[in-house]
A and B are shown apart, each in its own frame.
Chain A
Amino acid sequence: MEPVAERPRAELPSSEEEPPREAPVIELDGVSKVYRTGEIEVAALRGVSLSIRQGEYVAIMGPSGSGKSTLMHILGCLDVASQGHYLLAGEDVSVMDEEELAEVRNRRIGFVFQQFNLLPSLTALRNVELPLAYARVNRHERAERARAVLDRVGLGDRLGHRPGELSGGQQQRVAVARALATDPALVLADEPTGNLDSTATEDVLGLFAELHDAGRTVVLITHEAEVAARAARVIHLHDGHIASDESSSTVRAAGAGR
């Protein structure tokens, strides 16, 4: 059960750029986000500054309305800040247009969603191949890499299964495999266990711990304290501000060393 015990498996390919170990993957500088609905302006984020280094395992928590979804969207380059700057792996994404953002998401970020978001008509393998297809990897290499990464999450024998033929935990594993396929700098998980039972939750969290052990940068958005407790660093948001930012007591930060 304890993922640290399985060190030999922790050989996931590391980020292709290989920046210095302590260089920040994420650098937010005074990021604000204001939504306008007619006359009403709602500030979802009010000047958030934040730095997440390579290899960190960070949980972002907060009650609904705290701005954690907005923060997740901005971190995931799905949305851009109204103010402030966001450097992702050293690149300023706050000035990019839609086409460029799509490419940055493809290259730098692996998403894991609460709803899994697998395409039901595609097999596990084809689902994992999808980001590689957008990365213009040729078909042969695509299949090879997708197979390897599915193997890594323990689904090497389920390549031809469609999402409907897999359990929730297995589906989320496929989603994690998909997130890892392009070898991104950041794995961004939005309530990844929100739709899973306790066994599957444990399963998926174990997988994240493994990724962390392998040196991946993992950012996890959750409202469950038990889930956040598995991370090495927990950031609490409140009313669009960072209310607290502390290293978890159940420190796994030591495991960050390769």
Chain B
Amino acid sequence: MASLDPRLNRVDIYKYHQELQPKNSMDQFETYEVFVQSKESKPYQHEGIVHAPNQDMAFLFGKEQFSRRGVCTGLAVVLTEKIMVSPMTDNEENVYDHVSVASEKAGEKETYEVFHLFKRGKHMQHQGSVTAKGFHDAYQQAAGTYNTGKVVLNVWVIRHDDILFNTDDERVIWSTLSDKKFRDAIAYKALDKIKKFKEEQTASN
């Protein structure tokens, strides 16, 4: 049976349905959370996920899915699994109110990035870094450094080294985005055409 799509007529599309096997459980890979910095003066913001087999692919995919329209200055991806998430609070309660008192930790100090959610429905936003020995220490440090009075509903803490950021050299990949006018509503003005058409209709009536 011929398709209306010439691309599909070049392939036997019906043979595949018969050969269909059930998907194995990781067919669509793991997920990576994607963060975008739209301008240098703005913080990285969580935008969503990509499914990818590894971090390098996740970066390529994240760039396409979350920065193909807006010019941006930074992109970062991290395996969902690597993110430590605090509880989510309710109704104006600050999640940091429940952080226990700091105690001595063992191990090496590393950098951790801290993200806050200030309002349900909004996006996680980067606040800054802390150096700490482990996630719990980092969380407590964040409570000390970034709990500045505004109610925080949710906190994400991520080891800096688990995150893949673009390099400064790579920023050039976003340089021509603003030229792609064909994807902006503004390139599709047609009021004049409608006006002209209406005038012609009236004239011929």
Q: Is chain B found bound to chain A in the same assembly?
A: no
A-to-B contact residues, CB < 8 Å: none
